[in-house]
Structure 1
Amino acid sequence: MLTETFQIPLWIELVAAGLGGVQGALFASHLRDRRIDVLGVIVIGIIVSLGGSLLRDIVLNQLPVVIWMNWYLVVAGASAVLGMLVAPLIERADWPITVLDAIVMGLFGAIAATKALSLGVGIVGSLVVGVIGAIGGGMLRDIVLSLPISFLHVGTLYAVAAGAGVGTLLLLVSLGVPVPIAGLVCVAVTTVVRILAVVFDWRFPEQRSALRSPA
C-alpha cells in the first residue's frame, strides 16, 4: 500500500482547512434562529476547519498537527473571517454551503485515509479513520451548537457519502492508482453522493418505521 515515507503535501491540508473554515463560518452565519456573535462565527469556522484533522490524529495516536504547526490555526481563522464576510452575499442560498460541505468532507476523508495508510493501518481501519476525518469537523460543530449530529440525522447520508469516497480511494490505491488521482476521485465521489442525496432526498428509513410491525 503506502510506506511511511509518503507525506501529504502541506498545501493540500491547508486548502482543506481553508475551505472548511469558510464553510463553517457560512453555516454559522445562516443559523437565523440563533444569535451568534462575530467571535462565535469565527470559532465555529475554526472548529469545522480543524476538527476532522484533530480527531484523525487522536485516533491515529499522532501529535495533532493543527496544534503543533502554526499555519493551520492561521489559515483556519483567516478563512473563517472570509466566510463571515461573504455570508451576506449568499444569505438566502443554501446550495453553496451544501456543495462546499461535500467538497470539504471529501478532502478531509482523502487526507485522513491516506495518512492512516502511510502509518501502516489496515484497509478497514483506514476506512474508519477516513470517515472520522471527513465528518469530524461537522460533528464537533453540531455538538458545540447543540444541534442534532448531522451524520446521525435522518436524510443526510453524511457518513455514507464519506464512506463511499474513502472506500473508492482505498480500492484505487490497492489497485496501484497514484495517491493524488485516487484522492481526487475520493473528493468527487463524496461530493456527488452527498449532492445526489440532497437532490433526490435519499435517506435510510427511520428506525421507528423500520422496526414497526406490519398492521
Structure 2
Amino acid sequence: MVIEILNIIGVIVFSISGALKGLKYNLDILGVVVLGTITAIGGGILRDLLLNDMPMVLKNETDMYFAIVVAILTYIGGRRVENYSKIIKVFDAAGLAVFTIIGAARGMDKGLGVLGIVIMGTLTGVAGGVTRDLLVREIPFVLKEEVYALFCILGSAFYFYSVKYDFLSKNMTMYIIIFGIFLGRIVAVKYDLHLPKYKGH
C-alpha cells in the first residue's frame, strides 16, 4: 500500500515538473501533456522492460490518467509562474526521491544484487526527466546538474543493505531515503554543488 501511494505522489510531482518544462518552452497544451506524461511514466516503463515485465502503467492505466490530468491542470494554472527553472527543480527533487525508492524496491522484489538495485533505482528516478529534457533539446540534469544521480545511487544502495540486513523496517528505510534524497537535492541546488568536472575550452 505504501508503494502505491508513493507511486501516485511520484507521478503527480513528475507530471508537474514535465508540464512546467513545456510551459517554459511555450509549448501548446498537447506538448505540455506529452512532456508531463513522459516525465511521470518514462522511468517506470524502462525499469519494467529491463526486468522483463509488462510495464505496470499499461496493466493499470491509473498512472497515465493522473499524469494527463495533472499536466492539463498545470497548463491551466502554471502560466502564472515566473521562474520555471527553480520550481521545476523542486518538483524534480520530489519525483527523484520517490521514484528512486520505488525502483529499488522493485529490484529487491526481483532478487537483484546491490548493483542491479542501484541501476533500477537510478533509472526509475532519472529516465523520465532525461527523456523530457532531450525532447526540448536540453542537456539532461543528470549529465550537468549538481550531484543528481549520486543521490539515487546512494539511496538505492542504502535501501539494499538496510532491507537485506534488517537494519530498519522497510517502511522506515523508505521514508529516510526519500527525505534524504529530496533534502540533498534541494541543498545541492541551493548551494550549486557539483561533482568535479572538466573545465576545458
Q: TM-score, normalization: structure 2?
A: 0.90
Could you tell me which residue of structure 2 aligns to residue 192 of structure 1? 183
After superposing on structure 2, the runs of 4+ consecutive aligned residues of structure 1 that deviate more than 2 Å are 7-12, 88-97, 164-172, 204-209
Q: Write the deviation string for residues 127-181 of structure 1: whole angstroms up to 9, x where unpaired.
A: 111001110110111122221122112x432111222322332232234122221
Three-state SS of the structure 2 residue aligned to 1:207 is coil
Structure whose residues are more often helix by fraction: 2
Cα distance between partner residues in 2 of 1:50 and 1:95: 22
Give me the whole-angstrom Cα distance separating, in 2, the residues matched to 1:70 and 1:125: 27
C-alpha contact (below 8 Å) 2:96/2:181 kept by paired residues: yes
Q: Is the 8 A contact 1:165 1:185 kept in 2?
A: no
CA distance in 1 between counterparts of 2:171 and 2:146 reads 28
Tell me the distance in 2 between the aligned counterparts of 1:171 and 1:9.
Answer: 19
Alignment of 1:1-215 (within 5 A): 9-31=3-25, 35-92=26-83, 94-153=85-144, 155-176=145-166, 177-209=168-200
Q: Aligned pair in 2 of structure 1 residues 105, 26: CA closer, same or farther (>3 Å)?
A: same
Pairwise CA distance, 1:208: 4.8
Percent sequence identity over matched residues?
25
Q: Distance in 1 between matches of 2:50 and 2:153?
A: 17
Task: Tell me if structure 1 keeps the 8 A contact 2:3–2:102.
Answer: no
Q: CA deviation at 1:93?
A: 5.5
> How many residue pairs are counted as aligned between the two chains?
200
How far apart, CA to CA, are the structure 2 residues paired with 1:76 and 1:110? 19
- Partner deviation per Cα, 1:183-212 (whole Å, 9 max, x = no partner): 111111111221121122111232355xx9
Distance in 2 separating the partners of 1:145 and 1:94: 14
Structure 2: which amino acid aligns with 1:140?
A: T
Larger radius of gyration: 1
Distance in 1 separating the partners of 2:73 and 2:153: 30
Unmatched 5+ residue regions in structure 2? none
- Distance (whole Å) between structure 1 residues aligned to residue 58 and residue 135 of structure 2: 19
Q: RMSD over aligned Cα, in angstroms?
A: 2.0
Alignment CA distance shift 1:85-1:165 (3 Å): farther
TM-score (norm 1): 0.85
Partners of 2:16 and 2:74 within 8 A in 1: yes
CA distance in 2, matches of 1:14, 1:144: 24
Any stretches of 5+ residues in structure 1 without a counterpart? 1-6
- Which shows bigger deviation, 123-132 or 8-17? 8-17
